Structure 1
């Protein structure tokens, strides 16, 4: 997971659990989204639980806690529902240019690279999670 990662989307497929949307490609992976997030937290020097506990301590976000995966590389991610859920998707703060709503209360994500995609996630949830992640970024930004 790098700054090229835009989102990790849960999918229903016989071989894969997620599709990872990158700047220039889509990668299908057999691991769950939460496993990928946890592995990358460790790769960048801290456990998922430790990062989650720190955010909860400072901001009291008890559910759907945004995670500062690697603050020095500006990698912050947020879940769309309980990370324990098989349908939970993760979006990366730096990758989102805007979030719009469809007629059916879904979200259209305009990514920073110019791509856009519609997701069956409520606009309210996406905006709230994006805003909360912005608060986490302000808290953990090493240059702030």
Structure 2
């Protein structure tokens, strides 16, 4: 049941959003779709379950598929894939586990919600009109280590 719920919310939700919004944007001849992925979608992470990782990996593929389909209509589709972000999930971790996560991030800290928002705003702007089909890691260098 948990597997089905996580895939329905994350993967099917993304599919439906891209289909519905994409159809309207195609008809207008312009649009920006920014999906929310995760570090867990392309790197093994003990912090998430396999259902979450599979759903987020699927979002990355949907991003690429819709980007190819919608690009000729002036619609870009990208994905932001955050790693450890300071918020409720991080706050729920035991202090030693949070310290271990922080130690694996080269910049030495968790990301901030404002940083995620700023990247999304950029990808939704006219300045990002040539960027499509990309999965952009927002991970403080974690994927490099």
TM-score by length of 1: 0.32
From the two aligned structures, give the one with the greater strand fraction. 1
From the two aligned structures, give the one with the greater helix fraction. 2
TM-score by length of 2: 0.32
